[in-house]
Amino acid sequence: MHNPLNKALPDERGHFGQYGGMFVAETLMGPLQALQQAYEQYRQDSGFIAELNDELHHYVGRPSPLYHARRWSGHLGGAQIYLKREDLNHTGAHKINNALGQALLAKRMGKKRIIAETGAGQHGVASATVAARLGMECVVYMGAEDIERQKMNVYRMRLLGAEVRAVTSGTKTLKDALNEAMRDWVATVDDTFYIIGTVAGPHPYPAMVRDFQAVIGRETRQQIKAQMGRLPDELVACVGGGSNAMGLFYPFIDDADVGITGVEAAGDGLETGRHAAPLCEGQPGVLHGNRTYLMSDADGQIQATHSISAGLDYPGVGPELAWLKDINRAKFVAVDDKEALQGFKDLTRLEGIIPALESSHAIAYCSKLAPTLSPDKVIVMNLSGRGDKDIHTVANYEGIVL
Amino acid sequence: MSRLNRCFSELKAAGRCALVPFVTAGDPEPGVTVELMHGLVAAGANVLELGVPFSDPMADGPVIQKASERALLHHTSLHDVLGMVKTFREQDGNTPVVLMGYLNPIERMGYDTFVEAAKEAGVDGVLTVDLPPEEAADFADKLKRAELSPIMLLAPTSDARRIDKICSQADGFVYYVSLKGVTGSKALDIDSVRDKLSEIRTHTDMPVGVGFGIKTPEDAATVAKFADAVVVGSMLVTQIEDLAIEDIVPTLSKSLAELRAAMDA
Number of independent structural domains in chain B: 1
The per-residue pLDDT for A5 is 45
- Mean pLDDT to the nearest integer, B181-186: 80
Looking up residue B215, the CATH number of its domain turns out to be 3.20.20.70
Q: Do B158 and A30 touch (CB under 8 A)?
A: yes
B136 close contact with A: CB closer than 8 A = no
* B132 vs A contacts (CB less than 8 Å): 22-26, 29
Alpha carbons B17 and B9: distance in angstroms, whole number: 11
Give me the phi and psi of A68, to 5 degrees please.
-80, 110
The per-residue pLDDT for B137 is 95
Alpha carbons A73 and A376: distance in angstroms, whole number: 11
Q: Do B107 and A30 touch (CB under 8 A)?
A: no
Count CB pairs under 8 A between chains A and B.
126
Q: Do A285 and B104 touch (CB under 8 A)?
A: yes
Q: Check if A163 is active-site.
A: no
Residues 6+ apart with CB under 8 A from A156: A121, A125, A128
**Three-state DSSP state, B96:** coil
pTM for this prediction: 0.96
Q: Do A182 and B56 touch (CB under 8 A)?
A: no
Domain interval for residue B148:
3-264
Nearest to B183 by CA among B77, B66, B61: B61
- Burial, B141: exposed, middle or buried (Cβ in 10 Å; 0-12, 13-18, 19+)? middle
> Does the pLDDT of residue B265 top 70, yes or no?
yes
B110 close contact with A: CB closer than 8 A = no
Nearest to B96 by CA among B50, B35, B51, B47: B47
Helices (H), A56-200: 70-76, 95-108, 122-134, 144-149, 151-159, 174-188
A228 CB neighbour count, 10 Å cutoff: 16
Task: Output the furthest CA–CA distance in chain A (Å, rounded).
Answer: 57
Give tens-digit pLDDT for B37-71: 999 999 999 999 999 999 999 999 999 999 999 99
Distance from CA of B223 to the nearest CA of A (A): 20
pLDDT tens, N- to C-terminus, chain A (402 residues): 334 444 578 999 999 999 999 999 999 999 999 999 999 999 999 999 999 999 999 999 999 999 999 999 999 999 999 999 999 999 999 999 999 999 999 999 999 999 999 988 999 999 999 999 999 999 999 999 889 888 889 999 999 999 999 999 988 989 999 999 999 999 999 999 999 999 999 999 999 999 999 999 999 999 999 999 999 999 999 999 999 999 999 999 999 999 999 999 999 999 999 999 999 999 999 999 999 999 999 999 999 999 999 899 999 999 999 999 999 999 999 999 999 999 999 999 999 999 999 999 999 999 999 999 999 999 999 999 999 999 989 999 989 988
The per-residue pLDDT for A120 is 83
The distance from CA B116 to its chain's CA centroid, rounded to whole angstroms, is 20
At A118, which helix (H) or strand (E)?
strand A113-118
Residues 6+ apart with CB under 8 A from A252: A217, A221, A231, A235, A258, A260
State the average pLDDT for chain B: 96
Residues 6+ apart with CB under 8 A from A110: none
Q: Which residue of A has its CA nearest to B154?
A: A26
B162 close contact with A: CB closer than 8 A = yes
Q: Do B177 and A27 touch (CB under 8 A)?
A: yes
- Mean pLDDT to the nearest integer, B154-167: 96
Residues 6+ apart with CB under 8 A from B247: none
Q: Which of B132, B153, B156 sits opposite A22 (nearest CB)?
A: B132
Interface test with chain A among B65, B68, B104, by most A beta carbons within 10 Å: B104
Nearest to A363 by CA among A82, A64, A77: A82
The per-residue pLDDT for A7 is 53
Residues 6+ apart with CB under 8 A from B69: A169, A170
Which residue of the set B10, B27, B29, B60 is catalytic? Answer: B60
Give tens-digit pLDDT for B208-243: 999 988 999 999 999 999 999 999 999 999 999 999
> Does the pLDDT of residue B78 top 90, yes or no?
yes
Cα dist. A274→A109, A268, A314, A400, B120 in Å?
A: 42, 6, 12, 24, 37
DSSP B103-115: HHHHHHH-HHHHH
Alpha carbons B101 and A385: distance in angstroms, whole number: 38
> Does the pLDDT of residue B168 top 90, yes or no?
yes
Q: Which of B105, B132, B181 sits opposite A299 (nearest CB)?
A: B105
Residues B20 and B229 sit within 8 Å (Cβ to Cβ): yes
DSSP E strands, A151-288? 163-167, 192-195, 234-238, 259-267, 283-287
> Does the pLDDT of residue B116 top 80, yes or no?
yes
Q: Do B55 and A289 touch (CB under 8 A)?
A: no
Residues A186 and B155 sit within 8 Å (Cβ to Cβ): no
B129 close contact with A: CB closer than 8 A = yes
Q: Do A26 and B130 touch (CB under 8 A)?
A: no
Residues 6+ apart with CB under 8 A from A312: A238, A239, A240, A264, A265, A276, A358, A361
